[in-house]
Amino acid sequence: MDMSGLSSAEQAQMVQIIEKKQMRDFMNLYSSLVERCFTSCCNDFTSRALSSKEEGCLKNCAEKFMKYSERAGARFAEENAEQMQKQQQK
């Protein structure tokens, strides 16, 4: 995102807005991750406690998703930068 058209006061305000948004996004990420992992991993309700298999699955799910998210974010940033460069060259 290009903030060069904004004055420094506006940029400061945008930074604040972005920080708040990031916190909200993190909370959303957390709750959607719980739902995602629960849906995939927990399908046996013969017992209330988590089985060791379910525990392992949940841990793997969470870790895997975070690694995936990191990779996707990196690729996204690369593509975005490339596209912005192409637009500026036009």
Partner 1 sequence: MSFFGGSRNGGGLNNERIEAAMHEMEMITDVFNRMVSSCHAKCVNTRYADAELSKGESVCVDRCIGKYFEANKLVGETLNSTAQAAGGGGMGSSPMGM
Helix or strand run (H / E) with residue 10: helix 8-41
Q: Exposed, middle or buried: residue 41 (CB in 10 Å: 0-12, 13-18, 19+)?
A: buried
23 binds partner 1 (CB under 8 A): no
19 binds partner 1 (CB under 8 A): no
Per CB under 8 A, which of residues 46..75 are in contact with partner 1?
Answer: 57-61, 63-65, 67-69, 71-73, 75
DSSP-assigned states of every residue in 33-46? HHHHHHHHH----S
From CA 58, how far away is CA 50, in angstroms rounded? 10
Binding test (CB under 8 A) with partner 1, winner from 19, 21, 34, 51: 21
Q: Tokens at residue 85, please?
A: 């460069």
The binder of partner 1 chosen from 45, 48, 84, 85 (CB under 8 A): 84
Q: Which residue ranges make up the site for partner 1 (CB under 8 A)? A: 1-3, 5-7, 9-10, 13-14, 17-18, 21, 25, 37, 40-41, 57-61, 63-65, 67-69, 71-73, 75-76, 79-80, 83-84, 87
